[in-house]
A and B are shown apart, each in its own frame.
Chain A
Amino acid sequence: MVDAEPLVRVRGAAKAFGGVQALRDASLELFAGEVHALLGENGAGKSTLLKVLAGVHRTDAGEVTIGGGPFEQGSTRRSREQGVAVIYQEPSLFPDLSLAENVFIGRQPVTGRGAVDWARMRQEAAALFGQLGVDLDPDRPARGLSIADQQIVEIAKALSTDARVIVMDEPTAALSASESERLLDVARRLRDGGAAVVFVSHRLDEVFALCDRLTVMRDGATVRTSTVEGTDAGEVVRWMVGRELTDLFPKTETTTGDVVLRVRGLTTDGVFDDVSFDVRAGEIVAFAGLVGSGRSEVVRAVFGIDRYDSGSVEVLGAPLPPADPRAALARGVALVPEDRRQQGLFMPASIARNTAVVVLSRLARRGVVRERAERELAAHWAQRLQLRHGGLDQPVERLSGGNQQKVVLAKWLATDPRLLVVDEPTRGIDVGTKAEVHRLLSEQAGRGLAVLMVSSELPEVLGMADRVLVMREGRLMATLDRDEATQERVMLAATGQASVAGEGSAA
């Protein structure tokens, strides 16, 4: 069932963004009629490689061929015309248009007079849905469609354009078990129809259930390509992780104090379910798990950005009112959000303004914010965090990612919190700054601050945390102490190979 000649061949692909080498030496061979898993940790370069195929990025070096000829890069339109279709984790449909029209937009079947042939379009869409084995009404608008069904619509669109290569970028991350099962069925049908399917997933059970071959990437390069048959999960995890913990994590030993944050039975329907844990003063607790496992949602609910359905949150022994970030702030909770640019910073505003925005009343005298106090505050934190900047009036949009993150940290540390929640504190920042952020967090914990950290980077989790909470699909799967947390254990608990997970459950 695998042809001799690959349909797509990527050899030695390299791509840099600014100073970051996203791809160094990526290779991939796809054959017609196979489902091919692309695996790797966050930041291994999978997404960049997929975006090359999607026509979003262009490689700096290396060779990409399709059907034996050169693949024309850098245009999403040309990618589609060459037979590549990408199904993103969260598709972007037209909410007001019918499903049929979403499938055929711009290519609607027309009558002899050039009018859109609604009946035929409906039929063809229904036929495509039938071919995929799903029961969707082609006439209903896309608004309110579940993510699983939105993906099906995108796949139907790919089928209608006769795509030969269908790339699915973590399609099951946001799906329930039976939705995922249906998607796997669809992928098998596509394979049996002769397409080459690329399947990116962190759920190894799915990979083993679905895929024929797998390629593992690490640090921007392909490390291995193998058949799935004869390979076991532990092996794959080792290829993905593949390094010793050589990075130095400046873990300060501290004595833990009283419980600062107590969360019990926190539940939001369909997002996270019955989550309970404690964070003590002087302790760093890490939330590990896959993207989409509900970790960010939990900390957002704790801080009061989102409402939750049931459960309780206590800070220093007193309940925290739900959905009220100001109350959380007043009680000494600070949240460094996941998305620095959208949630953490006011990009056009200056370093000083960003640093001071949460503590303005403290800086005001008779209602007037004292610019001098504001600048002194910013200068103090800029020095403490060794911020590299061109003046405190510089807009933060001109800073590097690492320095932007320092401004966000400064802004929240300036509130003098008792509990610091950090969501992906080192995402997308350079190695040097990463180490500085780690040192800072350890130091703060050493002074008795309670730290709750969400991180998708295993070395960071293992190097920093006193305790590791592993989430999977909205549930707390394991609680591991520092000495029992290993890369394999965390990975396996996060991907659902529960047999290997640690014994501890929620406190």
Chain B
Amino acid sequence: MSRVLSWDRSVFVLLVVTVAVGAVVDPDFAGGSNLGFVLQDIGEIMLIALPMTFLIMTGEIDLSVASTAALAGCVLGWAWQASGSMAVAVLAAVGTGVVCGAVNGFLVTRLGLGSLAVTIGTLGLYRGLCYALLGDTTVADFPAGWTNLGFSSIPGTPLPYVTPLLVVLAIVFGVVLHLTRTGRWVFAVGQSVEAARFAGIPVARLKFRLFVVTGAVAGLAGVVYDLRFASARPDGALGFELAVIASVLFGGVSIFGGVGTMWGVVSAVLFLGSVRSLLQLQGVPGNALTIITGGLLLASVVIPVVAQRWSAFRERRGRALAAAAP
């Protein structure tokens, strides 16, 4: 990979090309209502991808985010019915996310368990608690003022209400990752945990906080999800964890940690949303769209390796030729 065409830039270029091509081949695609739909469709994925970027950058992972979001969504419904106050319900939902994240963080940083195994476990646990809380029922009597936030547009624009939230949080997370001490620490821990300890970086505390923030944002995503569908359901956000991780990795974050940019991830989420929408408009069945997600994810790991081997091969051949020359 040359420096000019780094991975995150390539993803951004892909995004621009996709939108441009889409606008030419399908007038509906570039229409305001469709762009609004794309933004709404990727809202929760984008939200959770922001803190997940931090976690994966430090070499950890959280598979329980979708279950956390669903549990927060169920708590939202339950607390709304119990208290009659949406403000209280939203607080309870986000608080639930914080607790879920703290449990993950505790198990990983205090007990020293692997985050992959831990979060597979809490994935089941939190999802199970959703059913325990709501049973097979759904809560669908949220006040219309709130659900309008979920599925109508900001007046005078095609943008859904979630847009400002996404923009603000993306900027905040981007700034923290790239401009602050915490962000530098995240890169450092991902590049070498040992060197980070020698540099006095509080590795365990940092990771614990990242799990908590991830839980909190997943809780927020659960609220957004509920408002979008105007109901709290125990099977909400099912399977989102893999879509989030696929987006983060396609955005150029290394699964081994230490490498990545926030705008690469944001571009990746937008790109995946655009491609899905474009193909959907062309009549490709929804289930088949997963090929795109999976194929891009594979490409994000295969291409760098193949490129590196190719250049190593050419270098070797170049040396051999030079040696053979008189």
Give the B-binding residues of A (Cβ under 8 A).
305, 325-326, 328-329, 335, 337, 342-349, 353, 356-358, 360-361, 364, 367-369, 411
Contacts and interface: CB of A to CB of B under 8 A. Distances in A.
Given A326-B200, A345-B195, 14 more contacts: A325-B197, A325-B198, A342-B192, A343-B198, A345-B192, A346-B187, A346-B191, A349-B191, A357-B201, A358-B200, A364-B181, A368-B179, A369-B180, A369-B184
Contacts of B185: 360
B109 to A, nearest CB: 16
Contacts of A346: 187-188, 191-192, 195-196, 258
Contacts of B192: 342-343, 345-347
Contacts of A364: 180-181
A360 B200 contact: no
Contacts of A368: 175, 179-180
Contacts of B175: 368
Interface string B167-204: 00000000100011100110110011011111111100
B16 interface: no
A204 to B, nearest CB: 34
B259 interface: yes
Contacts of B187: 346, 349, 353
B180 A305 contact: no
B186 to A, nearest CB: 12
B202 A369 contact: no
A366 to B, nearest CB: 10
Contact of A325 (B179, B191, B200): B200
Contact of A367 (B180, B198, B199, B201): B180
Contacts of B197: 305, 325
How many interface residues does chain B have, given as a range?
A: 20 to 34
A369 B202 CA distance: 18
Contacts of A356: 184
Give 4 closest A-B pairs by Cβ, nearest first. Answer: A360-B181, A346-B191, A325-B200, A329-B200
Q: Which has the most chain A C-beta neighbours within 10 Å: B175, B194, B198, B202?
A: B198
A329 B197 CA distance: 12
B219 to A, nearest CB: 24
Given A364-B180, A367-B180, A369-B181, A337 B198 contact: yes
A493 to B, nearest CB: 29
Interface of B: 175, 179-181, 184-185, 187-188, 191-192, 194-202, 258-259
B180 A348 contact: no
20 contacts: A305-B198, A326-B200, A328-B200, A329-B200, A343-B198, A344-B198, A346-B187, A346-B191, A346-B195, A347-B192, A348-B191, A349-B187, A349-B191, A356-B184, A357-B201, A358-B199, A364-B181, A367-B180, A367-B181, A369-B181
Contact of A335 (B179, B194, B198): B198
A86 to B, nearest CB: 27
A353 B180 CA distance: 12
B195 A344 contact: yes
B194 A353 contact: no
A126 to B, nearest CB: 35
A337 B184 CA distance: 20
Contacts of B200: 325-326, 328-329, 358
Q: Which has the most chain A C-beta neighbours within 10 Å: B179, B185, B191, B195?
A: B195
A347 B191 contact: yes
Given A325-B200, A348-B259, A343 B195 contact: yes
A188 to B, nearest CB: 40
Nearest to A340: B195
A404 to B, nearest CB: 12
A394 to B, nearest CB: 12
B185 to A, nearest CB: 8
Contact of A369 (B179, B198, B199): B179
A347 B191 CA distance: 7
A94 B198 CA distance: 29
Q: Which has the most chain B C-beta neighbours within 10 Å: A337, A346, A361, A369?
A: A346
B230 to A, nearest CB: 38
Contacts of B198: 305, 325, 335, 337, 343-344
A368 B175 CA distance: 8
Nearest to A357: B199
Q: Which has the most chain A C-beta neighbours within 10 Å: B184, B199, B201, B259?
A: B199
Nearest to A345: B195
B262 to A, nearest CB: 15
A169 B320 CA distance: 36
Contacts of A357: 184, 188, 199, 201
Contact of A342 (B179, B195, B259): B195
A357 B202 CA distance: 13
A151 B202 CA distance: 36
Given A325-B198, A326-B202, A345-B195, A360 B258 contact: no
A232 to B, nearest CB: 43
A361 B202 contact: no
Contacts of B194: 342-343
A349 to B, nearest CB: 6
B105 to A, nearest CB: 20
